[in-house]
Amino acid sequence: MAVERTLSIIKPDATRRNLTGKIIAKFEEAGLKVVASRRLRLSQADAEAFYGVHKERPFFKDLVSFMISGPVVVQVLEGEGAIQKNRDVMGATNPANAAAGTIRKEFAESIEANSVHGSDAPETAANEIKFFFRDLDIVG
């Protein structure tokens, strides 16, 4: 399988509970390598643009409010099949449905405050990485 890059976001519910290191350890244990990392606070415009694909969904407004409620850690993860591997480590969107050992099963508070974001396909991964990082900021 090819080496890929994917975008991860450690969400405000997780930074608030000081879980950044525990979550990064899960990525590293799965064979994913952090090749770029930055802590920041999203503006409302940033969050609306990033989640633009969901703007017609009933949860959009709440999701944006949640994502700007505290700092996030945006990261590029690299590895064999990184996009799917990251999704596997994250677990299902709703922690009630997430498999044992996944980040969302262990750490998520709710279907909204579910601790991590991960790109879902090669094209979204490329676009989401570009949203936060310049090529120069990514060092494999």
**Catalytic positions:** 117
**Which SS3 state, helix, strand or coil, does residue 73 take?**
strand
37's CB contacts (< 8 A; 6+ apart) are 73, 74, 75, 76
- Per CB under 6 A, the list member of 63, 64, 83, 125 interacting with ligand IDP is 63
Residue 58 CB, nearest distance to ligand IDP (Å)?
A: 8
Q: How far apart are CA 47 and CA 41, in angstroms?
A: 10
Here the tokens at position 55 are: 């703007």
Judge contact between 18 and 72, C-beta under 8 A. Answer: no
Choose among Mg ion, ligand IDP, none what residue 63 binds, the Cβ cut-off being 5 to 8 Å by kind: ligand IDP
Size of the site for Mg ion (CB under 5 A): 1
- Contacts with ligand IDP, 111-140, as mask; x by CB under 6 A: xx-x--x--x--------------------
Give whichever of 21 and 52 is closer to ligand IDP, judged by the CB atom: 52
Instruction: Determine if 97 is a binding residue for ligand IDP (CB under 6 A).
Output: no
How far CA 98 is from CA of 16, 47, 84, 101, in Å, comes to 21, 25, 15, 9
Residue numbers of the site for ligand IDP (CB under 6 A)? 54, 59, 63, 93, 111-112, 114, 117, 120
- Which spans of this chain sit near Mg ion (rule: CB under 5 A)? 120
